[in-house]
Amino acid sequence: MRRASLLLLLLSSSMSVILQLAAAGANGEDAAALLAFKAAAVDGNGVLASWNASAGPCSWEGVRCSRHQRVVALSLPSHGLSGTLSPAVGNLSSLRTLDLSLNELHGDIPGSLGTLDLSVNTFSGELPGNLTSCTSLQYLVLGSNKLTGRIPAELGDTLTRLQWLGLDNNSFTGFVPASLGNLTSLQALNLGMNMLEGTLPQELGSNMPQLLSLDICANNLHGALPSSLYNLSSLQIFDVGNNKLHGSIPADIGEKFPRLEIFVLINNSFSGEIPSSQSNPTNLSYLDLSENGFSGLVPRDLGRLNALQGLDLDHNMLEAGVTEG
C-alpha cells in the first residue's frame, strides 16, 4: 500500500516536472514571439521597456498569462505603438485576446492571428482569407483601418464561434457574403461606413438569436431589407442609415424588436406609415427616420416614450400628430 502510494507520488512529481519543463519551453516560445512583436513595432512611449530578459514575459507590461505560464492576452490599447504587426504574434498559441486598438500600427494584417481587436490603426490591404484558419476566434474587431477588397466569404463558414465582427469604417467593397448568416453566435455585426453594394442576403438574421447590434450604415446597399432581419428579437441597435434601401416598416416592428434602443433609417427611400407599434419598445432612446418617404400621421405615443432622447422625422411627407420638442 505504502509502496504503491510512494510510487504514485514519484510518478506524479516526475509528471509535474515534465509538465513544468514543457511549460517552460512553450513560455520561451511565447517570449520569442513577443520579442519579435517588439522588434517590428515602434514604441514611442517606451511602454515595452519592461519587455527584457530581467524577468519572464508574464511580468511584461500588457501581457497576461495562464496559471501554466502561457501568454493568453496581449493588451496594449492606446499606447502610441506604430510600425508593423509581426506575424510572430501568430505563434502565441494560447493567445485568446489581442487588443492593440487605438494605436498607429500599419501594413498588412498577418494571416495567422487569434482573437483580434486591431481597430483604429492604419492597417491596409485585404483581409486575409486564411484568417479563417483561426477557428476559435471570437472577436474580430478591425474597425477604422484602411482595409480594402471583399469581405472573405470563408469567414462565415469557418469562424463559427465569432461573437463580434467589426469591419466598420474601412474601404471594403463587394457584397455582404450570405455565409455571414451562418455566424449563429454573433452579438455584433458592424459593417457600417464601407463601400459595400448589392442587396442584403436573405440568410442574414434568420439564425442569429443573440445579435444585439446590426450596423450597416453608410454603404451603397439597395433593395428591401430581407424579412429574416425581423427575426432578430434580441436586437438593441439597428442602423441602416445612408444607403439606398426601400420598403416599409412592418406593422408589428415593436413586437419584433422589443429590446430596441437605437433605430436609424436616415437617408434612404423607406416609405409607408410609421406603425404605432414603433412606440412599444420601452428602452427606445434614439429614433431617426429622417430623409425618407414616410407619409401619414406620426403615432401619438412616440412622444410618450420615457427613454427617448433623440427623435428626427424631418424631410418626410408626414402630417403632424405629435408635438415636436
Ligand X SMILES: *[C@@H]1O[C@H](CO)[C@@H](O)[C@H](O)[C@H]1NC(C)=O
Region near ligand X per CB under 6 A, out of 14-22, 98-106, 240-248, 298-306: 240-248
CA atoms within 13 A on the CB side of 215: 19
Q: Contact letters (x/-) for ligand X, 241-260, by CB under 6 A?
A: -xxx-------------xx-
293 binds ligand X (CB under 6 A): no
* Strands laid side by side in the 139-141 sheet: 63-65, 71-75, 97-99, 116-117, 139-141, 164-166, 188-190, 213-215, 237-239, 262-264, 286-288, 310-312
Residues in the chain: 325
Are 252 and 276 in contact, with CB atoms under 8 Å apart?
A: no
188 to 207: interface string for ligand X, x by CB under 6 A: ---------------x--x-
Closer by beta carbon to ligand X, 20 or else 130: 130
Residues 183/232, Cβ–Cβ less than 8 Å: no
Please answer whether residues 231 and 255 qualify as being in contact, where contact means their C-beta atoms are separated by less than 8 angstroms: no
Please answer whether residues 253 and 274 qualify as being in contact, where contact means their C-beta atoms are separated by less than 8 angstroms. no
> What minimum distance in Å lies between the beta carbon of 6 and ligand X?
40
Per CB under 6 A, does 308 bind ligand X? no
Q: Nearest-CB residue to ligand X?
A: 206
Residue with cell 433605430: 263
Helix (H) or strand (E) holding 140: strand 139-141
Given a contact cutoff of 8 angstroms between Cβ atoms, the answer to whether 196 and 221 are in contact is yes
Partners of 287 in beta bridges? 263, 311
- Residue 52 makes contact with ligand X by CB under 6 A: yes
Which residue number, 178 or 321, has a Cβ lying nearer to ligand X? 178
Q: How many residues sit close enough to ligand X to count as binding (CB under 6 A)?
A: 39
Nearest CB to ligand X, comparing residues 54 and 309: 54
Side chain identity, residue 236: Q
Question: By CB under 6 A, is residue 271 in contact with ligand X?
Answer: no
Element (H, E) at 311: strand 310-312
Closest approach, Cβ 237 to ligand X, in A, equals 12
In the complex, what is the shortest distance from the CB of residue 114 to ligand X, in angstroms, rounded to a whole number?
11
Q: Which residues bind ligand X (CB under 6 A)?
A: 29, 32-33, 36, 49-50, 52, 54-55, 59, 88, 91, 111-112, 128, 130, 133, 144, 146, 156-157, 169, 178-179, 181-182, 203, 206, 227-228, 231, 242-244, 258-259, 267, 282-283
